[in-house]
Amino acid sequence: MNIILLGPPGAGKGTQADMLTEHYGMAKLSTGDMLRAEVASGSAIGSKLQAIMSRGELVPDDIMIDMIRARIQKPDCGNGFTLDGFPRTEGQAAALDEMLAKEKKSLDFVIELAVDDKILVDRISGRFSCAKCGAGYHDHFKPTKASGICDACGSAEFSRRADDNAETVAKRLKAYHAQTAPLLPYYKKKGLLVSVDGMAPMEDVTASIRKIIMSQPSRI
């Protein structure tokens, strides 16, 4: 089963992609995580990427397409994958169609997490993650069980993303509406788009996604 999660910054794509990995063993293909790993590696391309991301702009299509093309061919994608953060432009969507056809793969669902812009800034400004294992949290919506200790690995070190500030979030939202939202009608036309209320509590969003998947058991 291959799924795209579509939605604005902070809509919950990463959170729900983790759920799909946990429940269905699907590989999580997060382009944001891949780009941040490249930045953290200290490579020359990493510093160019960091500049683009800190401006809240999209990285050029050719870089993103090459990144996903290489990732989709890895063996763990044979169990199915969730795309979190890709495609983000019509060019990326067309390239994805081509690469899936070449790999004799197809998309099963494109799930939109619909969230109003006004609540996204709160969501993003409260987000933090474990600096050791990467587990994600939120100051109010998903705190650690024991204060200051990661539930997953016990580390006491946490970090916040450099692009999670109000000014950059506003630019990321603008980029979403101008460049990514046109993908909603693109996938609707293909009969793949399903929309869920991304403003519901996390567990309810998860339940809605699982219901959509269970309604088409042949695709699992």
CB of 168 to ligand AP5, least distance (A): 8
Contacts (Cβ under 8 Å, ≥6 apart) of 27: 21, 74, 76, 77, 79, 80, 81, 82
Subset of 153-172 contacting ligand AP5 (CB under 6 A): 172
Nearer to ligand AP5, 75 or 201 (CB): 201
User: How many CA atoms are closer than 13 Å to the CA of 105, on its beta-carbon side?
Assistant: 19
User: Per the residue annotation, which of 28, 36, 71, 88 is the catalytic one?
Assistant: 88
Task: Give the type of residue at 174.
Answer: K
User: If we measure between CA atoms, which residue out of 3, 57, 67 comes closest to residue 37?
Assistant: 67
Interface with ligand AP5 (CB under 6 A), residue from 59, 107, 121, 207: 59
Of residues 108 and 112, the one with the C-beta less far from ligand AP5:
112
80 binds ligand AP5 (CB under 6 A): no
CA distance to 9, 41, 140, per residue, from 45 (Å): 23, 10, 35
Q: How far apart are CA 111 and CA 5, in angstroms?
A: 5
Binding site for ligand AP5 (CB under 6 A): 7, 9-15, 31-32, 35, 52-53, 56-59, 64, 85-86, 88, 92, 123-124, 126-127, 136, 138, 141-142, 172, 201-202, 205
Catalytically annotated residues: 13, 88, 127, 161, 172
